[in-house]
Protein backbone atom coordinates (compact mmCIF):
# COMPACT_ATOMS: atom_id res chain seq x y z
CA UNK A 1 0.00 0.00 0.00
CA UNK A 2 2.91 2.33 0.73
CA UNK A 3 4.27 2.01 -2.80
CA UNK A 4 0.87 2.83 -4.30
CA UNK A 5 0.41 5.77 -1.94
CA UNK A 6 3.83 7.18 -2.80
CA UNK A 7 3.13 6.85 -6.53
CA UNK A 8 0.50 9.59 -6.23
CA UNK A 9 1.99 12.84 -7.51
CA UNK A 10 2.27 16.03 -5.45
CA UNK A 11 -1.09 17.38 -6.61
CA UNK A 12 -2.57 14.50 -4.60
CA UNK A 13 -0.53 15.15 -1.43
CA UNK A 14 -3.71 15.43 0.64
CA UNK A 15 -4.84 12.05 -0.67
CA UNK A 16 -1.48 10.47 0.25
CA UNK A 17 -1.84 11.88 3.77
CA UNK A 18 -5.45 10.71 4.00
CA UNK A 19 -4.53 7.17 2.92
CA UNK A 20 -1.98 7.03 5.73
CA UNK A 21 -4.49 8.42 8.20
CA UNK A 22 -7.57 6.37 7.35
CA UNK A 23 -5.76 3.07 6.80
CA UNK A 24 -3.31 3.56 9.64
CA UNK A 25 -3.51 1.70 12.92
CA UNK A 26 -5.95 4.15 14.53
CA UNK A 27 -7.41 5.77 11.43
CA UNK A 28 -10.74 4.05 11.01
CA UNK A 29 -12.39 4.92 14.30
CA UNK A 30 -15.19 2.57 15.28
CA UNK A 31 -14.01 -0.23 12.96
CA UNK A 32 -11.92 -3.30 13.65
CA UNK A 33 -9.10 -4.24 11.24
CA UNK A 34 -11.29 -6.78 9.41
CA UNK A 35 -13.97 -4.17 8.82
CA UNK A 36 -11.42 -1.55 7.78
CA UNK A 37 -9.64 -3.73 5.26
CA UNK A 38 -12.80 -5.47 4.06
CA UNK A 39 -14.28 -2.06 3.25
CA UNK A 40 -11.02 -0.92 1.65
CA UNK A 41 -10.88 -4.01 -0.54
CA UNK A 42 -14.53 -3.74 -1.61
CA UNK A 43 -13.97 -0.08 -2.48
CA UNK A 44 -10.81 -0.86 -4.42
CA UNK A 45 -12.68 -3.45 -6.49
CA UNK A 46 -15.43 -0.91 -7.13
CA UNK A 47 -13.01 1.70 -8.48
CA UNK A 48 -11.89 -0.79 -11.16
CA UNK A 49 -8.36 0.57 -10.82
CA UNK A 50 -5.91 -2.34 -11.25
CA UNK A 51 -3.05 -0.65 -9.37
CA UNK A 52 -5.25 0.22 -6.40
CA UNK A 53 -6.85 -3.23 -6.36
CA UNK A 54 -3.44 -4.88 -6.35
CA UNK A 55 -2.10 -2.65 -3.56
CA UNK A 56 -5.12 -3.10 -1.31
CA UNK A 57 -5.31 -6.85 -2.01
CA UNK A 58 -1.69 -7.32 -0.95
CA UNK A 59 -2.21 -5.53 2.36
CA UNK A 60 -5.68 -6.89 3.04
CA UNK A 61 -4.56 -10.48 2.46
CA UNK A 62 -2.24 -10.07 5.45
CA UNK A 63 -5.04 -8.85 7.71
CA UNK A 64 -8.32 -10.51 6.69
CA UNK A 65 -9.49 -14.04 6.07
CA UNK A 66 -10.21 -15.43 2.59
CA UNK A 67 -13.91 -15.14 3.50
CA UNK A 68 -13.54 -11.36 3.77
CA UNK A 69 -11.80 -11.23 0.39
CA UNK A 70 -14.65 -13.18 -1.21
CA UNK A 71 -17.25 -11.04 0.57
CA UNK A 72 -15.55 -7.87 -0.73
CA UNK A 73 -15.74 -9.27 -4.26
CA UNK A 74 -19.40 -10.19 -3.74
CA UNK A 75 -20.24 -6.76 -2.30
CA UNK A 76 -18.58 -4.99 -5.20
CA UNK A 77 -20.39 -7.16 -7.72
CA UNK A 78 -23.89 -7.07 -6.20
CA UNK A 79 -23.71 -3.34 -5.55
CA UNK A 80 -22.68 -2.70 -9.16
CA UNK A 81 -26.16 -3.98 -10.00
CA UNK A 82 -28.10 -2.62 -7.03
CA UNK A 83 -26.66 0.88 -7.14
CA UNK A 84 -27.72 1.32 -10.75
CA UNK A 85 -31.19 -0.13 -10.26
CA UNK A 86 -32.06 1.57 -6.96
CA UNK A 87 -30.49 4.89 -7.93
CA UNK A 88 -32.78 4.82 -10.98
CA UNK A 89 -35.93 4.06 -8.94
CA UNK A 90 -34.95 6.74 -6.42
CA UNK A 91 -34.16 9.50 -8.93
CA UNK A 92 -36.73 9.01 -11.67
CA UNK A 93 -39.80 11.21 -11.24
CA UNK A 94 -42.24 8.44 -12.10
CA UNK A 95 -42.85 6.81 -8.69
CA UNK A 96 -44.45 3.78 -10.34
CA UNK A 97 -40.95 2.33 -10.83
CA UNK A 98 -40.22 2.47 -7.09
CA UNK A 99 -43.34 0.43 -6.41
CA UNK A 100 -42.50 -2.32 -8.88
CA UNK A 101 -40.73 -5.47 -7.68
CA UNK A 102 -37.04 -5.43 -8.58
CA UNK A 103 -37.02 -9.09 -9.63
CA UNK A 104 -33.23 -9.19 -9.21
CA UNK A 105 -31.48 -11.99 -7.35
CA UNK A 106 -29.63 -10.75 -4.26
CA UNK A 107 -29.18 -13.86 -2.11
CA UNK A 108 -25.66 -12.83 -1.09
CA UNK A 109 -27.17 -10.00 0.96
CA UNK A 110 -28.67 -12.45 3.45
CA UNK A 111 -25.78 -14.91 3.57
CA UNK A 112 -22.46 -13.18 2.81
CA UNK A 113 -20.17 -15.63 4.62
CA UNK A 114 -18.94 -12.99 7.08
CA UNK A 115 -20.78 -11.06 9.83
CA UNK A 116 -23.73 -9.32 8.16
CA UNK A 117 -22.82 -5.93 9.65
CA UNK A 118 -19.38 -6.12 8.02
CA UNK A 119 -20.94 -6.91 4.64
CA UNK A 120 -23.38 -4.02 5.10
CA UNK A 121 -20.40 -1.70 5.68
CA UNK A 122 -18.81 -2.85 2.45
CA UNK A 123 -22.09 -2.26 0.59
CA UNK A 124 -22.52 1.15 2.21
CA UNK A 125 -19.03 2.27 1.18
CA UNK A 126 -19.55 1.10 -2.40
CA UNK A 127 -22.92 2.86 -2.50
CA UNK A 128 -21.22 6.06 -1.36
CA UNK A 129 -18.79 5.77 -4.28
CA UNK A 130 -21.68 5.11 -6.67
CA UNK A 131 -23.84 7.86 -5.23
CA UNK A 132 -26.94 5.76 -4.57
CA UNK A 133 -28.85 7.52 -1.81
CA UNK A 134 -31.48 4.81 -1.47
CA UNK A 135 -28.80 2.16 -0.97
CA UNK A 136 -26.81 4.35 1.43
CA UNK A 137 -29.88 4.89 3.61
CA UNK A 138 -30.67 1.18 3.63
CA UNK A 139 -27.11 0.14 4.54
CA UNK A 140 -26.78 2.81 7.24
CA UNK A 141 -29.98 1.47 8.83
CA UNK A 142 -28.70 -2.12 8.66
CA UNK A 143 -25.29 -1.16 10.05
CA UNK A 144 -26.93 0.59 12.99
CA UNK A 145 -29.18 -2.41 13.60
CA UNK A 146 -26.01 -4.51 13.60
CA UNK A 147 -24.64 -2.37 16.43
CA UNK A 148 -22.22 -0.19 14.51
CA UNK A 149 -21.61 3.31 15.82
CA UNK A 150 -22.10 6.49 13.82
CA UNK A 151 -18.34 6.93 13.99
CA UNK A 152 -17.77 3.48 12.47
CA UNK A 153 -20.23 4.22 9.68
CA UNK A 154 -18.48 7.51 8.99
CA UNK A 155 -15.12 5.71 8.88
CA UNK A 156 -16.39 3.33 6.20
CA UNK A 157 -17.47 6.28 4.06
CA UNK A 158 -14.17 8.06 4.72
CA UNK A 159 -12.34 4.98 3.42
CA UNK A 160 -14.56 5.00 0.33
CA UNK A 161 -13.95 8.69 -0.35
CA UNK A 162 -10.19 8.49 0.10
CA UNK A 163 -9.77 5.36 -2.03
CA UNK A 164 -12.00 6.80 -4.74
CA UNK A 165 -9.78 9.91 -4.81
CA UNK A 166 -6.63 7.73 -4.75
CA UNK A 167 -7.93 5.85 -7.77
CA UNK A 168 -8.56 9.12 -9.57
CA UNK A 169 -5.06 10.40 -8.78
CA UNK A 170 -3.52 7.12 -9.92
CA UNK A 171 -5.38 7.18 -13.22
CA UNK A 172 -4.47 10.81 -13.90
CA UNK A 173 -0.80 9.98 -13.33
> What are residue 43's phi and psi, to 5 degrees?
-65, -40
Q: Active site includes 135?
A: yes
- The single residue of 55, 135, 143, 163 carrying the catalytic annotation is 135
Q: Active site includes 123?
A: no
Q: Measured between alpha carbons, how far is 62 from 94 in angstroms, rounded to an integer?
A: 47
Ramachandran class of 9: left when φ > 0, alpha when ψ lies in -120 to 50, beta otherwise:
beta
User: Are the C-beta atoms of 52 and 162 separated by less than 8 Å?
Assistant: no
Instruction: Answer positive or negative: Cα dihedral of 56, 58, 61, 66.
Output: positive
Q: Measured between alpha carbons, how far is 42 from 76 in angstroms, rounded to an integer?
A: 6
Helix and strand numbers, DSSP H then E, in the chain: 8, 0
- The single residue of 72, 132, 157, 159 carrying the catalytic annotation is 132
Q: Annotated catalytic sites, by residue?
A: 132, 135
Amino acid sequence: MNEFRESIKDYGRDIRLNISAILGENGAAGLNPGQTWGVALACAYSTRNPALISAVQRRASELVSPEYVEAAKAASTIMAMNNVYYRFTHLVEDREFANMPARLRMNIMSSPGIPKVDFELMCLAISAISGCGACMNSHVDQARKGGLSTEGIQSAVRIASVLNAASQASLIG
